[in-house]
Chains A and B, each alone.
Chain A
Amino acid sequence: MYEPSAIAGLVVTAVLTAGLYALMSFGLALVYGVMKIINLAHAGTMMLSAFVVLELNHRFHLDPILGAIVSAALFLVVGMLLYVLAVRRVIDAPPIASLLLLFGVWLCAQNAAYFFWGSEDQSIVTSYTLATIPLGDVLVPVTRLIPFGASLIALGLLSWFLRSTDLGKAIRAVSQNSTAARLAGIRSGRVSTIAFGIGSSLSAFAGGLLTLLFSFTPDFGHTFQLKSFAIIVLGGLESFPGVALGALVLAVIESFSILIPGWRGSLVNLLAFTLLVAGLVLLPGGIASLLERRGKPE
């Protein structure tokens, strides 16, 4: 039997985990929204960013939060270069071409990381690694609060950027109809380049902050990538608030699954993939489209 404080702890856990999941899914959603491609290099970007943050920490004693910001800036450029040099060439080809290309990029990144850093587990320890803040009877880990706060800030900034800036409006226009956007004078190639850069930057930021929570190797990120797929499918492939909602749904289900009698914790990933399949079959537009439909007058 669980005490009320344990249930409160699960609620807090679910909310914080949702923030983490949303943060690592925004980049994937942006790239899909604008270019309609699944960025299979997303996990590779998160992993490489973790190692960049590790190097910054070891060589310059840079805190992982600052390291994640530096890494995000670095991968903005790397992402744009990747788009110009490779992704652009397959953007109009059948989807399998971009899938294979980005899968190849992921494998290259992984093998390069094995070459440079080896396969040993790496981790970053800070003064707040084990710190907690009491919230009533619940102890809230500082390292979980940071990605949660970062996801809220990222969501706010992304919403503002897409609604209030010319570049953001251009990105939205391209994501809605790239042909019409081109006819209206928007340089869709340039917009896609920047969007891919921002998507990579968001993935790198998430990967950098994940070092606060997890040890990592060049294999790092694939479990998170699979969960991100489930989240963006559930939330609606092109909607950031939808992604946040999708993340919350997955996190709540995962956290409260322990209340199911006879539940086996090793089945937790089954939940994410069941949601992925159910989302694709029953809710192709995700939660965002469901909310949109409910908001419309009959």
Chain B
Amino acid sequence: MSIVRALPALVLLLASCAPAGSPAQNAPAATEIKVGAVLPLTGAFSASGNYFQQAYQLATDEVNGAGGLDVGGKKLPITLKVLDDGSDTTKSRSLVEQLATQEKVNALLGGYDTTLVQAQQGVPDQYKIPMVEGGGAASAIFTRGNKYLFGTLATIDDLGNITMDFLKYWEDQGKLPKPLKIALAWENTDHGKDYQAAVNKGAKDDPAHFQVVLDQSFDLNGSDFTPLLTQVKAANADAFLSDAHLPDFITMHRQYTQLGLKHKFVSYGARGPDQKGREALTTAADYLVAGLWWTPALTDQGSRTFTDTWKTKFNVTPDWFQALGYDTARVLYAGITKAGSLDGTKVRDALAGLEFTGALVPGNKISFDQTGKPKTTFLMTQNLPNNEVAIVWPSSLEGSKAAMLPMPGTS
């Protein structure tokens, strides 16, 4: 038998000896990592969608600038493909499917906001392609048994929890009445229901510290909150807690101020330091307390570097959208490196056990529980006059200051 005639048999023999699932058996060796994302680049969520796109691209450019991502000892460039869903939930899901079936992406980055992430969330499990998202904050996202979906955004129930921890601390310091009478208003969405559930649970578990004297819902994009605020006034509460998106926050707090309401503590959930909100409310936004995922006021090295890089590149100060988008992409890339493979299941398993250090979020670590929900938390900020923002919680954070409570101007 000549060597030429024996060659095919030799190849088959060698191939059968290769470990199962190796690239040699399944496909030609990859020369790039295909990552896909569907974001709202136009339509109602386009402002935030574009922030996420810029952040994903920045993280990708950094990896490619360093020669590519380490996958099993080999550096591979990342190709990021971003599609625009126009802020439409139906389109969002079908475009993620398109990335999976036509573009054959190795991994996915999530969309923004909660509704669009919820529309996308079935696709990763269907095609066994891992997705990391940083744009959906409702805890309902992580209750559907998905194995290939991971979030980096601490959920709104945690926002309620940390707010209650913060209030308890200041009650014990004698700065707020004990028990604190709370008037609670929440938007009628998964987002708002998370907040309501957390505040009510906190009060039920600790009646010595909290008493919810009003628990009222409102619809998104309301035209008149005066009846609701009349209820708030009649409730004679010490604290007013509301979970609202930006337009409702602006309208509600304008009407709150016009009605002459004053509480010792006022928070609109994650709203407060937003520049658009501060411009619309002027001095009425001073001393409001907010729970955030990230703020440029953070002074740790990572946050400072990120803020400076972003300002240099885009000429604006980044907000949490950009920081979480950046963290989200970096977490996915860290998961791929840890897996040492582009195989979807291996990357999924690597992400499930990942402890990503060097994150921008408070605590600088991102890991996940069994449902894919992040084990991260919020920080609390307080608006100060002259458009300044102070970090007021947790006190362990570098640069954290004591909160001004009760809010100045209230007895």
Contacts and interface: CB of A to CB of B under 8 A. Distances in A.
A215 B250 contact: yes
A80 to B, nearest CB: 29
B345 interface: no
Contacts of A254: 224, 227
Given A118-B47, A215-B251, A215-B276, A227 B223 contact: yes
B227 A265 contact: yes
A125 to B, nearest CB: 6
B43 A119 contact: yes
Interface stretch (B93-101, B164-172, B252-260, B304-312): B252-260
Interface string A259-298: 0000011101100000000000000000000000000000
A130 B254 contact: yes
Contact of B246 (A1, A6, A213, A215): A215
Contacts of A49: none
A143 B284 CA distance: 16
Interface residues of A, number: 44
B250 A121 contact: yes
A259 to B, nearest CB: 9
Interface string B203-242: 0000000000000111101111011101101100000000
A132 interface: yes
Contact of B44 (A119, A132, A216): A119
B260 A132 contact: yes
Nearest to A257: B227
B408 interface: no
B188 interface: yes
Interface string A208-223: 0000011111110001
B45 interface: yes
Contact of B228 (A111, A120, A121, A265): A265
Contacts of A218: 44
A129 interface: yes
Nearest to A251: B224
A175 to B, nearest CB: 29
Contacts of B246: 121, 215
B72 interface: no
A189 interface: no
Given A1-B234, A10-B227, A121-B276, A219 B217 contact: no
B219 A265 contact: yes
A17 B234 contact: no
A151 interface: no
B227 A130 contact: no
B279 interface: yes
A223 B221 CA distance: 8
Contacts of A122: 276
A6 B218 contact: no
Contact of A258 (B222, B231, B279): B231
A125 B280 contact: yes
B33 to A, nearest CB: 31
A116 interface: no
Given A1-B234, A130-B258, A123 B47 contact: no
A168 to B, nearest CB: 31
Contacts of A60: none
Given A13-B227, A224-B223, A266-B217, A6 B233 contact: yes
A129 B250 contact: no
A166 interface: no
Interface in A167-218: 213-218
A264 B216 contact: yes
Contact of B251 (A2, A214, A227): A214
A255 interface: yes
Contact of B247 (A9, A129, A215): A215
Given A130-B258, A258-B228, A219 B44 contact: yes
B46 A118 contact: yes
Contact of A266 (B45, B188, B233): B188
Nearest to A9: B230
Contacts of B284: 130
Which one of B223, B276, B282 has the highest number of Cβ atoms from chain A below 10 Å of its Cβ?
B223
Given A123-B250, A125-B279, A125-B280, A132 B47 contact: no
Contacts of B231: 258, 265
Interface in B249-302: 250-251, 254-255, 257-260, 276, 279-280, 282, 284
A120 B316 CA distance: 15
15 contacts: A13-B224, A17-B223, A118-B47, A123-B280, A139-B260, A143-B254, A214-B223, A214-B247, A215-B276, A218-B44, A223-B223, A254-B227, A264-B188, A264-B216, A265-B216
Given A257-B227, A268-B227, 13 more contacts: A2-B230, A6-B233, A9-B259, A10-B230, A114-B42, A123-B276, A130-B254, A130-B258, A130-B284, A227-B223, A255-B227, A258-B228, A269-B219
